Structure 1
Amino acid sequence: MVKLVLMHKADSIYDDEPDSVYDFPRPYLKAVQEAVGDWVIYYEPVKAGPRGYFATARLQQVIPKPGAEGRYLALIAPGSFLPFDREVPRLIDGRPLETALTDTDGSPRRGGATQLAVRRLSDADFARIVDLGLPEDLETIEAQRWDPLQVALAEPVLPFQRPVLERLTRRPFREVAFRRKVREAYDYRCAVSGLRLRNGGGRPEVQAAHIRPVEHQGSDSVRNGLALSGTLHWMFDRGLVSVAEDLTILVSRNKVPSEVADRLIQPGGKLRLPADPHAWPHPANLRWHRENVFGQSHPDDPTPW
């Protein structure tokens, strides 16, 4: 097996969905087949935007693309995709992060491998990029983020050195990474009520909800998340609210009193979207929620009103 860098553009003409499938031509088939079962890192080319390295995932399978001679689809293992907490720049101190792109004097190479949409990546380069994008101590950073007193009193503690792949597959770490990205994308504001609430210590009260749950093949992509208040998160998970194709907020009116719905939903009745279109909820995830969760709650569920 081998690790790869996969070039991805948000407006690509290919059928790429980073958390589920990567579309590529025949010249890259051998490299991608070698990577099945191993991990990849997604990279945004210079002409497409400023993100650099922005996510990781594990390849599960390669299949021919139906109806497209000479093209193939790399299927992403469900639940493996994870966006970086901080996007990693292409160069640090003028030096590339990939050994294959680095000249003998440390400067970036020109042409050649730099133009490849699929590039082999050493284990050491992979670990370095992941460490920069998903720091080992991310859980500690988040725990101390909104508590200045705790930070001031805390004694320096070296993070437990977990192997990179263990970190990427450990659910508590992934939950923290998902929560940080979703809440940041929505500016710590509930996407349904429009409210941005903080407790007395300044900690945001908004939560990060998976649109399609991980246990139902949902991913930890920001596009599979919504920032919701505690009550609306509870309602969303139980199918009492959902989101229509045109982003209108749907309410199960036979289960939610009108006076409750009118107080919880922001004026206009539309979902509040992140400023960055990269983070907008994917229509397929919203459709899955409408078809599989909305209206399915049990009538004897206790309610918060």
Structure 2
Amino acid sequence: MGWVERVAGLRQWSRGGVRAPHKPLLLLYALGRFQRDGEGELRYGAVEEDLGLLLSEYGPPHRTSPGYPFHHLVSDGVWEVRTDRGPGSPGSGVGRLRADGATGRLVPELRSALGREPELLGRMARVLLDLHFPPSLHEDLCEAVSLELEPAGVAAAGLTARRRRDPRMRERVLTAYEYRCAFCGYDGRIGAVPVGLEAAHVRWWAFDGPDEVENGICLCALHHKLFDKGVLGIGEGHRVLVSQRFVGHSPAARAHVVDLAGRPLLGPQPGARPVGAAYRTWHTEQVFRGSPRPTAVD
């Protein structure tokens, strides 16, 4: 099995579409460190805060210890852990990892392969991004782990995608919502071409979300990003949810985010299927952060 295929098959706890991107986040972080210094050895006590922030921002809404992926990634054959006493992980408990001076890094065989084939790092990183995160977050995530990647698709990585995306999805969703953002109504065009409008998956494609109109929603670029980051969601009655964790004091932040709380979605047009309840529930449980802001909207 090649390294790209091995990375694509990371063993993760999975049930009913629950997100568990802990190992992919650690591996992306390790690849970023390797790209910078060629060794990428990570002492747990020194990187615990960084890993915790990554899990908080890009992981599921419920809190997870950074010690979990640091220990369990060993089982996938791409990561090794040593302590002051020698090889082997002391477990996933953060106290033991700190006290025993645990350090982790990519296994020697993978480090050698990356040395021989520098482009391998980019192929592995793109597979991790594509299989575990929506495209709207890829650039931000690469910046967060200090990865510099050349533009390329997963097909160029030599990995056959598990499913093929439907190229008609975007047009069908934008048509259903009459080319306007379902949250704010933005409908900008240059001539006849819409600009800044995107078809967002409610249940992410990486987590078996289908390319169907009832799993899609037309959003402007800003609200697509906030939707995928868990700032915004869709509640009962197809009304906009705004997370209480969002903080913005400027008039722009209030107008474009806070004041959306409780507003009904704009669309879809009659005859088009609205967002399905199962997809709304998945997004609320796996992506939306915290509790929604109260609203006076009836």
TM-score (normalizing by structure 2): 0.39
Greater strand share, structure number: 1
Greater helix share, structure number: 2
More contact order relative to length (CA 8 Å, sep ≥ 6): 2
TM-score (normalizing by structure 1): 0.38
